[in-house]
Amino acid sequence: MVFESPSKGRLTLESMFGELLGYIAEAPNDRYKLIIGSDSHTRHETVFVTAVVIHRLGKGGRYFFNKSHRRAIKSLRQKIMYETSLSLNVAAQLTALLEKSGRADLDVEIHIDVGQQGDTKELIREIVGMVTGSGYHAAIKPYSFGASKVADKYTK
């Protein structure tokens, strides 16, 4: 899996993880949250983007993203389920790396592109259950900027 960074270019998952740890090492006494969120956009095909954000609470952060293309998916429920599964897959890989590196204490949050307004409100309970059942904190709109802002920026 290849990630892109606006400042570091193309990175493997392991290289991206090294950048995350390096960012934390710059200010080790600060508090951090690791955020993973996905979004998609459909035209002739569906473009999926998964963003990984390391947020230094109150002091900004850095982000990385992976972009993939699939056949056009018209079903909103299917797209949201797939976006969430992409986020959970990346979260599981990063969680394993965090455990190996002794950083299992880092707060990991999954940002989901659903909210109380619009067509996705019917999916909130099911999707949040999918995330919390996997052992992660879930954030929905308007608090899910990892999906609705960062990942969304690269779907077009």
Q: Please state whether beta strands 137-141 and 107-115 pair in parallel, antiparallel, or not at all (unpaired).
A: parallel
The sign of the dihedral angle between the CA atoms of 96, 98, 104, 109 is negative
Do 111 and 35 contact (CB within 8 A), yes or no? Answer: yes
Q: Which residues pair with 61 in a beta bridge?
A: 55
Query: Quick check: pTM over 0.85?
Result: yes
Q: What is the pLDDT along the chain (156 residues), one digit of tens a residue?
A: 999 999 999 999 999 999 999 999 999 999 999 999 999 999 999 999 999 999 999 999 999 999 999 999 999 999 999 999 999 999 999 999 999 999 999 999 999 999 999 999 999 999 999 999 999 999 999 999 999 999 999 998
DSSP string, 78-97: HHHHHHHHHHHHHHHHHHHH
Looking at every residue in the chain, the average pLDDT score rounds to: 97
pLDDT digits (tens, 9 = 90+) for 38-81: 999 999 999 999 999 999 999 999 999 999 999 999 999 999 99
